[in-house]
Amino acid sequence: MALIVQKFGGTSVGDADRIRAVADHVARTKAAGNDVVVVVSAMGKFTDDLIRLADDVSPTRPPRELDMLLTAGERISMALVSMALGACGVEAASFTGSQAGIITDTDHTRAKILEIRPDRIREAVDAGLVPVVAGFQGVSTERDITTLGRGGSDVTAVALAAALKADVCEIYTDVTGVFSADPRVVVNARRIPKVSFDEMMEISATGGRVLMLRSVEFARRHGVPLHVRSSFTWEPGTWIVEEDPTMEEAVVSAVTDDTSEAKITVGGVPDRPGVAAHLFRQLADRGINIDMIVQNISAKGITDISFTVAKTDLVAASETCDKVKDEIGATEVTSDDNIGRVSIIGAGMKSNPGVTALMFETLSENGINIEMISTSSIRISCVMRAEKVADAVRYLHTAFGLDAA
């Protein structure tokens, strides 16, 4: 008998029909002899509706009140799922984040979990009930209601699975798993049956939309096996697990793409210690997250520093660089929001030196110019013109033998 945490996203509980389908599935899992803990998101676009209402009543969004508002969404879906389970003959009880013991810091709208005190959930499971827990929400050390930010319901599910020592955390969504490339870009992309935490973190970090990096990191840290699967077809999806040393590693598992970033180049920078540190400290102090950083080889003691930021941070980042320019003796700041990044990810890359060469050749043969390169031991990312991204993904998917037969 296993303990399974099943998390259902917004589309999975989007209307009464979907909620009844979810309840049926939970009932089947329970009938198969498992203990089940359910975590739910708000229904479909309900959160968006609430944000629109908030914008209608106030030009600002006070974070404490925004959290109070948005947490109504999971409250509705969890009560409905519990009722639907009751209708399937499964005794269920819903729990808010607070009741489930999700204790967070006081950073409203993007709180971090400090501690899980799952006593009530554990008691409910022991009593044979299916607890249905509100995702995305917790209660702060100041007894205020908090939300966990984007991807927060997945974090709730993984954190509860870790605290309860669950055998698996199943993340149900509207796709059948993690794919070798975005199926909207590559028609014959394949579902990946099994992927390591390390690979999944690279996939999430470079444009894979199925799981947020944060929940994969959390799962890896606590050794919680994840199973990403569809709440529409219920077929087995993608397992995300510890790397298994006995299994043969795919050279390349996935090709990802991301056109949500822009590039800033600070040119004519004196190549001396502390310059980059000063620049990135200023950016960090404004809360701007930097993704790739590339510094060209210094010529005559002068270098260029290029980096990527989310397009939404481009204005703030450019302003900051303009201010810092004179302090660090740079000559110019340019920005470019027409870029895209394509990455290949594979744990087998480490032992296959030809991978980089094949990637560059493939792009080059198809007339795609590489503007920035960054690598990790299991990933290679290339920045290019945004309009080349879809083609690049398709060529690489074929070149690395990922196309479905």
* 83 lines the binding site for a copy of itself (CB under 8 A): yes
Torsion of CA 105, 4, 42, 237, to 10 degrees: 120
* 357 lines the binding site for a copy of itself (CB under 8 A): no
Among 2, 16, 31, 277, binds a copy of itself (CB under 8 A): 16
Which is nearest to 30 in space by CA: 3, 64, 66?
A: 3
Which is nearest to 47 in space by CA: 65, 79, 72?
A: 72
* Residues between 179 and 218 that touch a copy of itself (CB under 8 A): none
Q: Which one, 88 or 290, has the nearer CB to a copy of itself?
A: 88
Give the shortest CB-248-to-a copy of itself separation in angstroms: 46
* CA gap 153, 133 in Å, rounded: 10
* 103 lines the binding site for a copy of itself (CB under 8 A): no
Q: Which one, 127 or 404, has the nearer CB to a copy of itself?
A: 127
Give the shortest CB-159-to-a copy of itself separation in angstroms: 21
Q: Is 34 helix (H, G, I), strand (E, B) or coil?
A: coil
Q: Which one, 17 or 248, has the nearer CB to a copy of itself?
A: 17
Residue 230 contacts by C-beta under 8 Å, 6 or more apart in sequence?
172, 173, 174, 175, 176, 177, 237
Mask for 246-285, x = binds a copy of itself (CB under 8 A): ----------------------------------------
* 106 lines the binding site for a copy of itself (CB under 8 A): no
Stretch that binds a copy of itself, among 56-64, 166-174, 239-247, 386-394 (CB under 8 A): 56-64
* 126 lines the binding site for a copy of itself (CB under 8 A): no
Residue 271 contacts by C-beta under 8 Å, 6 or more apart in sequence?
298, 301, 302, 303
| 253's tokens | 């598992």
Stretch that binds a copy of itself, among 2-10, 53-61, 157-165, 375-383 (CB under 8 A): 53-61
The single-letter code of the amino acid at 186 is V
* CA gap 63, 108 in Å, rounded: 5
Among 3, 51, 54, 316, binds a copy of itself (CB under 8 A): 54
The single-letter code of the amino acid at 197 is F
Among 96, 259, 295, 335, binds a copy of itself (CB under 8 A): 96
* CA gap 390, 386 in Å, rounded: 8
Measured in whole angstroms, how far is the alpha carbon of residue 70 from the centre of its chain? Answer: 20
Stretch that binds a copy of itself, among 76-84, 190-198, 289-297, 325-333 (CB under 8 A): 76-84
* 40 lines the binding site for a copy of itself (CB under 8 A): no
In degrees and rounded to multiples of 5, residue 68 shows phi and psi of -60, -45
| 215's tokens | 């929940």
233 DSSP 8-state letter = T
Q: Which one, 84 or 328, has the nearer CB to a copy of itself?
A: 84
- Please give the radius of gyration of the chain, using alpha carbons only, rounded to the nearest integer: 23
* 50 lines the binding site for a copy of itself (CB under 8 A): yes
Residues of this chain that interact with a copy of itself (CB under 8 A) are 16, 19-20, 23, 50, 53-54, 56-62, 64-66, 68-69, 71-73, 75-76, 78-84, 86-87, 92-94, 96, 99, 120, 143, 145
